[in-house]
Each structure stands twice: as structure tokens, then as C-alpha cells.
């Protein structure tokens, strides 16, 4: 599609805002929160993010509402065109992350609640508006995503503390954390044509499973002390200093490099095993889209990434003296 940008401020603002609801944001913000801010917060964010995204992705392929027609709109994201429209998972994820972060920090850190609420509203609003600006969703898609997320947060909030404790409930917990998400991904609703929805859902579910198992490993082997439900005294948010910034960026860089290495290694290895098992030509890129190959390799890869981010990266930080 050819189009002319008449307002570069809105164009770059909403293209950037759209990126806040994509993989590049999740793979940076969530690990950064775990390594540099508070593992307690990252665990809650990941759990709610996985739940909300799974519900949203499933709803898309059940409802099968088309995206806005073009023309009249101009669609700025080619990869997402093959997916259905209702609900907007960008809107769901942005709303879930911003307001889960707000709710989870109220009893842990001392800051003006109005300021936190304003930041949550601004963040989620920018992402929601970006979906309309980029031509990927209607207003109804966005409002549907916000409403579904609000309902999920309200109904699951009483169980958040219980969910936090599940990673130490039983030695068999890792089995459930792997089997249940894998079965859900493998039995994902069939689509009339191929879209990246199933692959994206598997990536999200696998990352959540890996993070959950990583927390279980940390607790079971006492690698780190378990975070408390709430601090006895509200902590003041420490001022950002140069030393703190350098340390945080160093930890983040070390962690991301290790994650990318693990991701590439496990992905290549799992694909080779699956190609050999199903006797598929290695260079056949279409084979990756087959159910029996796409789901297992995605699930193994991103489960490994989740475990690495929560267990092995902190161990490497400790070894390098960054903790």
C-alpha cells in the first residue's frame, strides 16, 4: 500500500506506541523488571500477561471477526494482517501490564497513586490508539480488548496471592506447568488459513511456563530467597543514580545476550530433531508451520528462554558480581 505521511509526530508516536504491545517490548521490559526492579512484580506481570493473551488469541480465532477493510483504512503492519481483529490483544496486553503493575506496587512502594494511575492510563491509551491509527483494529476491537482484560483482572485478583504460591506447592508442579500449556497450544482452534496466531500463542504460553518453572527451581533449590507477599513498610523508590543505571544496563545486556544464545541454540536443535523425526527437508520453511513441528519447537525454545531468564541469568549475575 502506498501512503503519504502528513503528520510525522502522530506517525512516529503511534508506530512507537504500537511497538509497546509487541514482542520487542515483552522481551525487554519483563526481563528488565525481573533483573533490576523486583522478581515479585515480574512474576505477577508474566502470569497475568499469559492469561490475558491466551484468552485474547483464542477469542480471535473463535469469533473470526475481520480486521478493518482496506480501503478505506491503510494497514501499516503487514505481519498482523493474517490475524483476525476482535479483540485487540495489543489493547489487552497494554491494559493488563500497566494496571497489574499499578495494583501490585501499591502495597510495596511509596509513590503518589494518582501519578501511577496516570502513567497506567497514558501507557494503555497510547497503545490502544496506535491500533486504530495503524489500521489494524476498529474502535470496537479495542474496547472489547479493554473490557475483557478488566473482567479478567477483577475476577482473578482475589487469587493472585494463591497463584504466587503455586510455584512452591508441590514437586510435581513443573510437570503441570509444562503439560497443561502444551496441551492447550497443541489443541489450539484450527483456522481456515495459516496465521501467526497459533505460533504467537505458543510463544507466550511457553515463556510463561518457563518463567513459572524457573521460579519453582529457585524456590526448590533455594537459589534465591522467596519474595514476601507485601513489605512490612512501604519502600521509597530509590533515586536513579549513574551507578545504578550502569549496573542495570550491564545486567540487562548480560541477560539478553545469554537469552538470545539459548534461544538460538535450542531453536536450531529442536528443529533439527523434529525435521529428522518427521523426515522433513531442512530447508523447507513451510514445514515450520505444520502443527506437529511448529508447536513443539516453539514451546521447547521459549520454555528454555523463560527458565534461563529467571534462573540462569541471575546465577550468572551473581557469578559476575552484579548482584
Q: What is the pLDDT of residue 265?
A: 95
For cell 509513590, the residue is 111
Q: What is the pLDDT of residue 235?
A: 66
Q: What is the pLDDT of residue 222?
A: 67
Task: Report yes or no: 211 and 204 within 8 Å, Cβ to Cβ.
Answer: no
Which is the catalytic residue, given 34, 137, 219, 317?
A: 137
Residues of the chain with pLDDT under 70: 1, 79-82, 166-170, 192, 194, 221-236, 282-284
Q: What is the pLDDT of residue 151?
A: 93
Task: Report yes or no: 301 and 185 within 8 Å, Cβ to Cβ.
Answer: no
What lies within 8 Å, CB to CB, of 167 at 6+ separation is 43, 173, 212, 215, 216, 219
Task: Report yes or no: 63 and 86 within 8 Å, Cβ to Cβ.
Answer: yes
DSSP sequence for 277-309: HTT--TT-GGGGGSHHHHHHHHHHHHHHHHHII
From the list 3, 6, 18, 27, the residue with the least C-alpha distance to 137 is 18
Q: What is the pLDDT of residue 226?
A: 47
Number of CB atoms found within 10 A of residue 290's CB: 14
As beta bridge partners, residue 236 has 110
- Condensed to tens digits (0 to 9), the pLDDT of residues 51-75 reads 999 998 888 888 888 888 777 777 7
What lies within 8 Å, CB to CB, of 64 at 6+ separation is 84, 192
For cell 527458565, the residue is 307
Which triple of cell numbers denotes residue 36? Answer: 533490576
From the list 38, 26, 35, 55, the residue with the least C-alpha distance to 207 is 26
Q: What is the pLDDT of residue 175?
A: 84
CA dist., res. 134 & res. 125, Å (int) = 14
34 has catalytic annotation? no
CA dist., res. 305 & res. 312, Å (int) = 10
Q: What is the pLDDT of residue 150?
A: 92
Q: What is the pLDDT of residue 159?
A: 83
90 has catalytic annotation? yes
Amino acid at each position: 500500500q502506498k501512503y503519504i505521511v502528513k503528520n510525522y509526530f502522530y506517525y512516529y508516536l503511534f508506530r512507537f506506541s504500537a511497538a509497546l504491545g509487541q514482542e520487542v517490548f515483552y522481551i525487554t521490559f519483563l526481563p528488565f523488571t525481573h533483573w533490576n526492579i523486583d522478581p515479585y512484580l515480574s512474576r505477577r506481570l508474566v502470569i497475568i500477561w499469559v492469561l490475558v493473551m491466551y484468552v485474547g488469541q483464542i477469542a480471535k480465532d473463535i469469533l473470526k471477526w475481520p480486521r478493518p477493510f482496506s480501503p478505506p483504512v491503510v494497514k501499516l503492519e503487514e505481519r498482523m494482517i493474517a490475524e483476525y481483529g476482535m479483540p485487540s490483544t495489543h489493547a489487552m496486553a497494554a491494559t493488563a501490564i500497566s494496571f497489574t503493575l499499578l495494583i501490585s506496587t501499591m502495597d510495596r512502594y511509596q509513590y503518589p497513586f494518582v501519578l501511577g494511575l496516570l502513567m497506567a492510563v497514558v501507557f494503555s491509551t497510547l497503545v490502544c490508539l496506535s491500533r486504530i491509527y495503524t489500521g489494524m483494529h476498529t474502535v470496537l476491537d479495542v474496547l472489547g480488548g479493554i473490557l475483557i482484560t478488566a473482567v479478567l483482572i477483577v475476577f482473578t485478583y482475589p487469587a493472585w496471592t494463591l497463584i504466587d504460591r503455586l510455584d512452591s506447592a508441590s514437586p510435581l508442579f513443573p510437570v503441570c506447568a509444562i503439560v497443561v500449556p502444551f496441551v492447550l497450544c497443541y489443541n489450539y482452534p484450527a483456522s481456515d488459513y495459516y496465521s501467526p496466531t497459533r505460533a504467537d500463542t505458543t510463544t507466550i504460553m511457553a515463556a510463561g511456563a518457563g518463567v513459572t518453572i524457573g521460579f519453582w527451581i529457585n524456590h526448590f533449590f533455594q537459589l534465591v530467597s522467596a519474595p514476601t507477599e507485601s513489605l512490612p513498610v512501604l519502600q521509597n523508590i530509590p533515586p536513579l543514580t549513574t551507578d545504578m543505571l550502569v549496573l542495570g544496563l550491564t545486567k540487562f545486556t548480560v541477560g539478553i545476550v545469554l537469552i538470545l544464545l539459548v534461544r538460538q541454540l535450542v531453536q536450531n536443535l529442536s528443529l533439527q530433531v523434529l525435521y529428522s523425526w518427521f523426515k522433513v527437508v531442512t530447508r523447507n520453511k513451510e514445514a515450520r508451520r505444520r502443527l506437529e513441528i511448529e508447536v513443539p519447537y516453539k514451546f521447547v525454545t521459549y520454555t528454555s528462554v523463560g527458565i534461563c531468564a529467571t534462573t540462569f541469568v541471575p546465577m550468572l549475575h551473581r557469578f559476575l558480581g552484579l548482584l
